[in-house]
Structures are given as C-alpha cells and as structure tokens.
Amino acid sequence: MDKTMDTYVYRDRKMMKWLPFGALTEQGDYLQALFEKRNQQPKPTLLDDAITEMNYLLEEAVAMHIPITITYFQHHRYHTITGIVEVVDFLSKTITVDNTLITASTITHIEVI
C-alpha cells in the first residue's frame, strides 16, 4: 500500500473555489454580498443592570465633564470613540461626543477614563 494516501488530509478551499466565477457580474455581486454577510457580527443584547450602570456613568461624565470611551454597534460592526460628551438629547435619545452623533440604543459599553 502507498503510505502517502494513508496520511493525506483533505483541506477544503472553502470560498476560494468560487472566486473564478467573479468574472460574471451577477455572480460577483452575489459573492461580494456573501462575503460581507459572513463578516457581520450579531447585535448584542444588554441586561437591565448593564443599561443602568451605563446610564450612571454617562450622567457622571456629563456632570463632571470627564472624558469617556463609548463602544457602540452600528452597521454590523463595533465602533469606539473617546472624548467628552457635548450634548445629550433626551427627546431623540442621542448623544454627541466629539461631533459624532450616537444613538443611545446602539451603545454597548461605556468606560470612564
């Protein structure tokens, strides 16, 4: 018997095998959408305790003008911004940090620096 066949391990090329079909425009668009969808992250679910703690940290940062780091989830990705809170709009539920408008429902983590 041939010993090379006994030790052979099949390695799948996964999505690489479909790349030659990128020449077809419709197939290329479909593959691009598929690649983007594979890299998406699910939106996290926050518990009430975490929301209460973030609310307290935000109130403290606004009252004392302390810089904070906010991590928020937007367009299936996590983003982080550090700065001083400029505006908190309770009607539209938005927060402005360094000229960046963040919706309160997208915030996943707040850390006081």
CB atoms within 10 A of CB 84: 13
Burial of 61 (0-12, 13-18, 19+ CB in 10 A): buried
- List Cα–Cα distances, 33 to 22, 38, 39, in angstroms: 12, 9, 10
- Spans of all domains in the chain: 3-38, 48-112
pTM: 0.64
Element (H, E) at 79: strand 77-83
**1-18 tens-digit pLDDT:** 556 666 777 676 666 666
Q: What is the CATH T-level fold of the domain 48-112, as seen in this structure?
A: SH3 type barrels. (2.30.30)
* Per-residue model confidence (pLDDT) at position 14: 67
